[in-house]
Amino acid sequence: REPASFSNTIEAMERTGKLLDRVTTVYGIWSSTMNDDAFQKVEQEMEPKLAAFSDKITQNAALFARIEKVYKDPALKKMTPEQQRLAWKYYTNFVRAGAKLDQKSKDRMSQINQKLAGLFTEFSQNVLFDEMNDFLPLKTEDDMDGLPQSLIDAAKATVAAKDMDAAGAISNTRSSVDPFLTYSNRRDLREKAWKMFISRGDKGGTHDNNKLITEILQLRAERAKLLGFPTHAHWRLENAMAKTPERAMELMEAVWKPAIARVKEEVADMQELADRENAGIKIAPWDYRYYAEKVRKDKFDLDQNEVKQYLQLDKLREGMFWVAGELFGFRFTPVNNVPVYHPDVQVWEVTNLETGAHVGLWYFDAYAREGKRSGAWMNAYRNQERLDANVTTIVSNNSNFVKGKPGEPVLISWDDAETLFHEFGHALHGLSSNITYPSLSGTAVVRDYVEFPSQLLENWLSTPEVLGRFAL
Ligand SMILES: [Zn+2]
């Protein structure tokens, strides 16, 4: 055997597992956006196996010895910054996964990781179960008092799709519950909707997550101890910018008191308004969105519904493309000759505005549907790299907008518009990737840095340049 070198060890590792990468990408799409009963069974079977497979690599003593040799070789200092970073990443990931432990501890680590993989799967499947199976029925038109037409339409469509005996129904997802809490004049139903959403996985019975949480925490604590860390938090932050839980807490504490003070001010404003209206209530969590809206109207004469008609999904998307053109020189052109996994998914080719060179593909899976997890996120289906050949990236944005009637524009709230720009910021991060090695590609940066580009780029939404052109 040749002695370990960067190219026969680190680069060789970068070249392995390409088929598995492709398969797990498809697996990830099913898991997060088309998660039905059949796929849940696949997840339950595969998650522990994938964890065991990963441990088998990081616990391979001969392999780790080679990585360690390359990492500690003084010659590494003469290599490119990217190569040094990559060697550091392999070494650190292996050590963090237990490569330096004795065999007995390695075996226990592997058991813990497989157990955790199963528990995480069970946890998210429980949440999804409650999101898919719980509804707030709206028995009569009275139950829809205050709701904007788009929400009434969606509530009626839900009843039709589920063949339910009610005038309408609110799904147990953020994109349905949040607008209901904002507009419903029915305080009794707001309380029900809020409690339904907040108790996902927390209602006792077979889909309750409380027991799983205890188990997860115990296993994480045990794993941290095995690896020589006082707590899971110490282990988790060691390779992040924050480094220690103390520093992370310092930041949290610095924000905490001013944030609480602000919440108290806002709730006091709400209470004052409720008292003025003789509502006879003490502001509760299910009143926050509703009264925040009223206070805004009262103080600034600003109505979210008035704002919403200016926020059309299609136009905002054009606005994001315009920003990407101005800042990064990207052009987005719709394409329909690439495969998609669901008819809702749309794809754009991204090219360089000046040279016309191909940069990548942008997949957009915009709408809520059964089996898709709540919220919004970005991921890469393929990483940019040029280790052996030039590989361009394929990135995706996923969100849960409620589809309007056919032919009508989809109107979204200001919060949703910010989220849209935020997630697109992650996509731009991925599309701007310019590296040699796949493991360092796109958003594969330290955990507490990855939100920086997206947090920064979301601010373009509120600029006159964007609103003046696209909020019409
Ligand atoms: Zn983010």
At which of 241, 263, 294 does a domain end? 241
**Which helix (H) or strand (E) segment is 401 a member of?**
strand 393-401
Distance CA 298, CA 271 (A): 13
Which residue positions in the chain have pLDDT lower than 50? none
Based on the domain organization, do 235 and 287 belong to the same domain? no
Residues β-bridged to residue 330: 352
Based on the domain organization, do 290 and 429 belong to the same domain? no
Q: 219-254: per-residue pLDDT in tens?
A: 999 999 999 999 999 999 999 999 999 999 999 999
Q: How far is the CA of 374 from the centre of ligand 1 (A)?
A: 14
For 21, residues 6+ apart whose C-beta sits below 8 A from its C-beta are: none
Q: Is residue 188 part of a domain?
A: no
At which of 223, 241, 259 does a domain end? 241
Q: How far is the CA of 416 from the centre of ligand 1 (A)?
A: 13
Q: Is residue 98 part of a domain?
A: yes
Based on the domain organization, do 346 and 220 belong to the same domain? no
Helices and strands, number each (H, E), in the chain: 18, 7
Q: Is residue 217 part of a domain?
A: yes
pLDDT at 307: 79
pLDDT at 411: 87
Distance CA 372, CA 367 (A): 9
Q: How far is the CA of 429 from the centre of ligand 1 (A)?
A: 11
Q: Is residue 107 part of a domain?
A: yes
pLDDT at 16: 95
Q: Which are the catalytic amino acids?
A: 423
Based on the domain organization, do 234 and 318 belong to the same domain? no
Which runs of E-coded beta strand occur in 147-263?
A: 168-171
Based on the domain organization, do 222 and 255 belong to the same domain? no
Distance CA 193, CA 187 (A): 10
Based on the domain organization, do 403 and 272 belong to the same domain? no
Q: Is residue 167 part of a domain?
A: no
Based on the domain organization, do 235 and 342 belong to the same domain? no
Q: Is residue 152 part of a domain?
A: no
Based on the domain organization, do 465 and 328 belong to the same domain? yes
Integer CA distances (angstroms), 449 to 94, 239, 242, 444, in order: 21, 11, 10, 10
Q: Is residue 163 part of a domain?
A: no
Based on the domain organization, do 293 and 328 belong to the same domain? no
Q: How far is the CA of 414 from the centre of ligand 1 (A)?
A: 17
- Number of compact structural domains in the chain: 3
Based on the domain organization, do 269 and 333 belong to the same domain? no
pLDDT at 308: 77
Based on the domain organization, do 222 and 277 belong to the same domain? no
Distance CA 107, CA 56 (A): 10
pLDDT at 412: 87
Exposed / middle / buried, residue 176 (Cβ in 10 Å: 0-12, 13-18, 19+) = buried
Q: Is residue 109 part of a domain?
A: yes
Q: How far is the CA of 376 from the centre of ligand 1 (A)?
A: 9
Based on the domain organization, do 381 and 279 belong to the same domain? no
Q: Are 322 and 226 in contact (CB under 8 A)?
A: no
At which of 260, 276, 302 does a domain end? 302
ipTM for the complex?
A: 0.99
Range of the domain at 26: 6-128+206-241
Q: How far is the CA of 111 from the centre of ligand 1 (A)?
A: 32
CATH label of the domain that carries residue 381 = 1.10.1370.40
Distance CA 52, CA 60 (A): 12
Distance CA 179, CA 196 (A): 14
For 454, residues 6+ apart whose C-beta sits below 8 A from its C-beta are: 378, 422, 423, 425, 426, 429
